[in-house]
Amino acid sequence: MQNAKDTFYTTLQSRLAVLNPARTIVVRGVTRTATLVEENELPSAVVPLNAFCLQWTGLRVNREEPMPMATLECSIQYATDGTTGNGGMDRGRLLAGMDAELASALGAEPQTVEKMNYSPAGTGVAATAMGTNIFWADPVFNAATTVGERLQRTATVQVLAYQEAGEL
């Protein structure tokens, strides 16, 4: 299942980067695309702003098929305070922009991509293609909530993948 999670993350990250290359975030001193997986980062109580933060929540496994099918629920949180230059009064516009970017990235064809194994990947070592594709359903955008001057939303998307022989 980790391969499915990694593949979905890298796919979403690259699509979002194409849609808005200017959306970046500094993590541990490194500027990178503003899409991250919470469980892959240092634990922190700080909510990253103007970034997409993925959390892997639900999991179901259907073993009735020749290959078990895993359905993983991915919650994508994003928040904004607006810009200081505008006194935060543009936070609705910024959140709408993030809504549109996420909807476009997840809705773009194809909504399926070859599953990759990133375990052996590293410097000079490429990820290897596996035998099946991962795919995902349409996202569900939950109601935006306001915390102080902060506007935030969580979208959930079901990511599906087959467990190949020998895959953990």
The binding site for another protein (CB under 8 A) comprises 65-67, 69, 111-112, 131-133, 135, 160, 162, 164-165
Cα 7 from Cα 5, distance rounded (Å)? 5
Question: Nearer to another protein by C-beta: 84 or 109?
Answer: 109
CB of 164 to another protein, least distance (A): 6
* Burial class (CB within 10 angstroms; exposed 0-12, middle 13-18, buried 19+) of 97: middle
Instruction: Give the nearer residue to another protein in terms of CB position, either 83 or 133.
Output: 133
- Kindly state the DSSP code that residue 67 receives in the 8-state scheme: S
In the complex, minimum distance from the CB of residue 113 to another protein, in angstroms, rounded to a whole number: 9
CB of 57 to another protein, least distance (A): 22
The least distance separating another protein from the CB of residue 22, rounded to whole angstroms, comes to 30
Alpha-carbon distance of 139 to 155, in angstroms, equals 6
All residues at 6 or more sequence positions from 57 whose CB lies less than 8 Å from its CB, including other chains: 73, 74, 75, 156
- Of 99 and 164, the one with the shorter C-beta distance to another protein is 164
Whichever of 9 and 162 has its CB closer to another protein, that residue is: 162
- Is residue 66 within 8 Å of residue 55, measured between CB atoms? no
